[in-house]
Amino acid sequence: MNIYRPGKILGTFKVPEDGDYSLPFLKLLSKHNIVLDPGDEGVVLWEGESYMVRSCGTVNKKYIIEFFNEKEKTVTVILRKDFPHQEKQTEIVGTAEVAQMLSWSSKKVSVYRQRGKLPKPECILKMGPVWKKEDIERWGIEKGIIKKIIKFC
């Protein structure tokens, strides 16, 4: 079953008569020493008349892709390290937010941008330049302006 980009195929198994394949799924993961992330409930990526594709994360930040084939009553499990099953939203920030992040004045941010000392803005709107928040964070850490970023979930 080569529907999606390749990854490491962990195995394929038949779905039990009762339709609940969680036990064989967990046994297969256990066989490969893979532990699911308890905080990741997973998500259905695609669903059709005779198939379903689900994704969930592991504790070591890899992703499990399940291909459920209803006609054949089989599940193929694939391990991927780069499949982003959860959309990451890009946060953008303007001059005022950048100033707040760097503990600067808006004027200082404007001067640094004009002199080419800040990362290049993603675009310039009528209200002014906007950057990706992560670009400013990365730049601030590299320059020693931002000491540490702690993200709480």
| Structure confidence by residue, pLDDT tens digits, 19-46 | 888 889 889 989 988 888 888 878 888 7
Contact 52, 61 (CB under 8 A): no
Of 48, 43, 46, 45, nearest to 71 by C-alpha is: 48
Residue at 22 is within a domain: yes
Q: What DSSP character marks residue 120?
A: P
Mean pLDDT of the region 48-75: 84
83 vs 66: CA distance, rounded Å: 12
Residue at 2 is within a domain: no
Residue at 148 is within a domain: no
Task: Give yes or no: residues 66 and 99 share one domain.
Answer: no
Task: Give yes or no: residues 59 and 100 share one domain.
Answer: no
Residue at 85 is within a domain: no
Task: Give yes or no: residues 68 and 100 share one domain.
Answer: no
Tens of pLDDT, residues 123-138: 999 889 999 998 999 8
Residue at 16 is within a domain: yes
Residue at 30 is within a domain: yes
Tokens describing residue 92: 């953008």
Q: What is the dihedral of CA 118, 121, 125, 130, to 10 degrees?
A: -80
Structural domain range at position 62: 8-80
Q: Which residue has the higher pLDDT, 131 or 60?
A: 131
Q: What DSSP character marks residue 42?
A: -
- Domain boundary (80, 104, 124) is at 80
**Average pLDDT value for the chain:** 83
Q: Which residue has the higher pLDDT, 149 or 38?
A: 38
Q: What is the CA radius of gyration of the chain?
A: 23
Residue at 3 is within a domain: no
116: Cα separation from own chain's centroid:
31
SS3 119: coil
β-strand pairing of 8-14 with 123-125: unpaired
Task: Give yes or no: residues 13 and 75 share one domain.
Answer: yes
Q: What is the dihedral of CA 103, 108, 113, 119, to 10 degrees?
A: -20
pLDDT of residue 6: 59
Residue 84 has pLDDT above 80, yes or no: no
Q: What DSSP character marks residue 58?
A: B
Task: Give yes or no: residues 73 and 99 share one domain.
Answer: no
- 130 phi, psi to nearest 5 deg: -130, 145
pLDDT of residue 152: 53
Task: Give yes or no: residues 65 and 128 share one domain.
Answer: no
| Domain count along the chain | 2
Contact 76, 8 (CB under 8 A): no
Residue 4 confidence class, pLDDT cut points 50, 70, 90: very low
Tens of pLDDT, residues 87-99: 556 789 999 999 9
Lowest mean pLDDT among 7-21, 97-111, 129-143: 7-21
SS3 74: strand
Residue 146 confidence class, pLDDT cut points 50, 70, 90: confident
